[in-house]
Amino acid sequence: MMSRSSPASTRELLDVPPEKMPRHIAVIMDGNGRWARQQGLPRIEGHRRGVASVRRTTEECARLGIEQLTLYCLSSENWKRPPAELEFLMHLLQQYMIEERATIMQQNIQVAVIGRREGIPQEALREIDKTVELSRENSGLRLCLAINYGARAELADAVRRIAREVRSGQLAPDDVTETTLDTHLYTAGMPEPDLLIRTAGEMRLSNFLLWQISYAEIWVSDLCWPEFDEAQLHSAIRSFAARDRRYGGLGEGRY
């Protein structure tokens, strides 16, 4: 259950002023299987424990007043994993949507999902759609789950949609801009991530939000995702707040 501390009071405990807080945090949740192996447990237990980290991180972002949290739950490349593991992941996803629904509503969280629907079992899709629809009008943290997601596939889908509009005469080729592409992505209408967190010490993007993270600050933890907690999240936010975001310019005090 969430504490009743306000976003402002929690930010003060972090010693981070409101204007230095990230608006949107994206997370590549890596290391579930690695953590399980280190503990002498089956891989699926790592995924089960990873759900607890999802819960902790979501609740803390809501407490901190973060506008959006995007979690990389299942990549389009993950279908190469053993069938038994994929079946368990789909069951875990369905179970999460059912068990967390009441809490999501109590905490005023809006759930969104990005990625392709193909391959996801109908039972899981039904529960996803129900949670998304029930939480649609919530005005707190937007929890965006990237499921069966791949950034290259997202870009290809966006280009196909634009091409159809050009062919139908709705759009002139010379009118296609970066904004045009942005509004045809799965994430249309969402703020770009300010902070990208990756766990398990990996230094790659793994086909995640390649367009959207062009100017995101990257923070990597050596801990595996099941070990990620509020203290790790706070460290990432403090690191973000201390950086000079120049967006290609010289930055404050530089010449």
Enumerate the active-site residues. Answer: 30, 78
Burial class of 22 by CB neighbour count within 10 A (0 to 12, 13 to 18, 19+): buried
What lies within 8 Å, CB to CB, of 237 at 6+ separation is 14, 16, 21, 22, 25, 64, 195
CA dihedral over 238, 31, 77, 60, signed as positive or negative: negative
CB of 88 closer than 8 Å to CB of 44: yes
What lies within 8 Å, CB to CB, of 254 at 6+ separation is 246
What lies within 8 Å, CB to CB, of 242 at 6+ separation is none
Cβ–Cβ contacts within 10 Å for residue 136, how many? 10
CB of 45 closer than 8 Å to CB of 54: no
Nearest alpha carbon to residue 144 among 231, 46, 48, 25: 25
- Measure Cα distances from 76 to 80, 106, 149 in Å: 9, 32, 5
Tokens of 57: 């991180």
Q: What is the 3-state secondary structure (H, E, C) of 179-219?
A: HHHHCCCCCCCCCCCCEEEECCCCCCCCCCCCCCCCCCEEE
Distance CA 251, CA 196 (A): 21
